[in-house]
Amino acid sequence: MVLANVSERGIVVKLPHLVGQRFEELANLIGPAGAFALEGKTSAVALSTFRAHESLRASLCHGVGKIVLDQQGGWLLVLRTLAFRSKQPQRTVLVIEENEAEGLVKSLQAAGQRLRSELGNLRHTLSPT
């Protein structure tokens, strides 16, 4: 990780196991009070925009899905997820309509591309020359 290799400031960098925790750690490091706040200002904005889609992650990555057709011939994606929180099962169902999915995909692609670009710029800025 590039941030961990930056002298002095890199010592505070942790690499958590779970992806949600990694996003949180990155947000803290490049956020206003973070060790890389100055260099990471635009990356922090891009990360925040990308994380607006974070609620979809568990369902898309771990959910079991079905596609069903409605009466007008449009499709719906039904994602069922089972998670255990405090040793208790928690079931969620996410239903996404075809027209909603198209907007979500475009928004997620744009946010992901911007985040990749900004993090690439941050990596270039912090990498030794």
Q: In this predicted model, what pLDDT tens digit does every residue of 18-55 receive, in sequence order?
A: 999 999 999 999 999 999 999 999 999 999 999 999 98
Handedness of CA 56, 32, 17, 121 (dihedral sign): positive
Summarize pLDDT for 66-98 with one digit per residue, the tens. 999 989 999 999 999 998 989 999 999 999 999
Q: How many Cβ atoms are within 10 Å of 71's Cβ, its own excluded?
A: 5
